[in-house]
Amino acid sequence: MVVSYKSSYTVKPAEPTWTGSLSLSEWDQIGTITHVPTIYFYQSSPKLLIDTVITTLKDSLRRALVHFYPLAGRLRWIGHGRLELVCNAAGVQFIEAESQSKLDSFGDFSPSPEYDFLIPSVDYTIPIQELPLLIVQVTKFQCGGISLGFTISHAVVDGQSALHFISEWARIARGESLAVSPFIDRKLLRAGDPPVLPRPILDHKEFNHPPLLIGQTNNIEERKKKTTVAMLKLTKSQVDKLKNMATNKSLNTGRPYSRYETIAGHIWRCACKARDHKPEQPTALGVCVDSRSRLQPPLPPGYFGNATLDVIAVSSSGELISKPLGYAASKIRKAIMTVNDEYVRSGIEFLKSQADLTKFQDLHALGGDDGPFYGNPNIGVVSWLTLPIYGLDFGWGREVYMGPGTHDFDGDSLLLPNHDDHEDGSLVVALCLQVSHMEAFKNHFYQDII
């Protein structure tokens, strides 16, 4: 696909905003600290006039940045693998582009290398203090439709906060007032404070590096292997079958397993089969848990930052495969249930006591191999099932498709509601695996639903 880049602007807040250094919490500075891409597609409509679209988006973005001013700032390293956010109104980058392609050419909009032309790339050879935290690209297609590609710094926001910003930006574009103002101060998660010692620290397995393949001393070779992405759909009937399999054939005596616990367990088991592990192979599944409502007191509405943390479920491939689905789901539930106020605050203290945070950061996008690796023999399953990812209307109607950008990291997976039928309980698994494992995974994924 040929894309012509027409112009690039720096968009700054429409009014003066607070300036100064904003401390980041420990949760902001671990895991993925690079940019995360998403994309929205809009069909041609009488309201979708490109000149009006560009003017509306830039004007409303300026006004949105008055409220969400940290996004107009820049990060800087302060030593020992730690960052702070400089609120200086340097602005975000806004790119205009055109393509001779038509939206019809994307078929079902499954992520493909063509997305690389529609979502802004980030040049990490540039010093971090010069990189915009948000880059937006609007691409006009020959058919009159557009795509809206975002890439946003995960060191500044998690998925919940990113969607909060984008949805409020859309409200402003429609001429409405904010629904929920952002809560900027991260002191509630003790951002910038020294560690409180002595304090008992719980066992945080998620801060250890996940298992390696038996016989290997590092994961360098696994990181190098070529990967591919698949979008695997599950109907409500298939989801219900899996939930029944997990609950009916387990020793679970509590509430039925959730969609996440069930589907994540199914993905985990299928990955072990597709990768043809030895029965004794240790394997971990990374679970991303939102702590906002798990803290006491809960974080205020609109908390703007990272409030999610990763926990892990651990087993052996042999146990996962030989035991019913409920076994995998129970392991995942147990990991999720550990996340309470005490656990979150213990994790904060553990990280504050570390001399350097680099080993806890996923620097894959920067070419680093030191961070945690959830590729073979491990996997990560992130849920977008409860996030308000659909219905983004800037004044010309909702999108025809929204999804993640390209992701090429073995073991990355996302659970999304099915865009066209997201209220009926069907969903989509966006999965990245090594090319040599994908076909076997697909076979197990559907054949094991009995």
* 175: region left, alpha or beta (phi > 0 left; psi from -120 to 50 alpha): left
What does the DSSP assignment read for 398-411? --SEEEE-----TT
Burial class (CB in 10 A: 0-12, 13-18, 19+), 217: exposed
Per the annotation, the verdict on 369 as an active-site residue is no
- What is the C-alpha separation between 91 and 224, in angstroms, rounded? 36
Of the residues 67, 154, 277, 437, only one is catalytic, namely 154
Reading the block at residue 252, the tokens are 């679970």
Reading the block at residue 4, the tokens are 């012509």
- What is the C-alpha separation between 190 and 349, in angstroms, rounded? 9
- What is the C-alpha separation between 448 and 233, in angstroms, rounded? 14
Of the residues 393, 419, 422, 448, only one is catalytic, namely 393
Tokens 């949805």 locate to 167
Quote the Cα angle for 385-389-393, to 5°: 155
Amino acid at residue number 438: M
CA 269 to chain centre: 22
> With contact defined as beta carbons under 8 Å apart, do 56 and 183 qualify?
no
Per the annotation, the verdict on 393 as an active-site residue is yes
CA 403 to chain centre: 11
DSSP, res 69? G
The secondary element (H helix, E strand) that includes residue 178 is: none
> With contact defined as beta carbons under 8 Å apart, do 90 and 39 qualify?
no
Reading the block at residue 377, the tokens are 């023999």
Number of Cβ atoms within 10 Å of the Cβ of 176? 10
CA 337 to chain centre: 21
- What is the C-alpha separation between 331 and 308, in angstroms, rounded? 19
- What is the C-alpha separation between 443 and 446, in angstroms, rounded? 6
Reading the block at residue 359, the tokens are 């080993």
Residues with active-site annotation: 154, 393
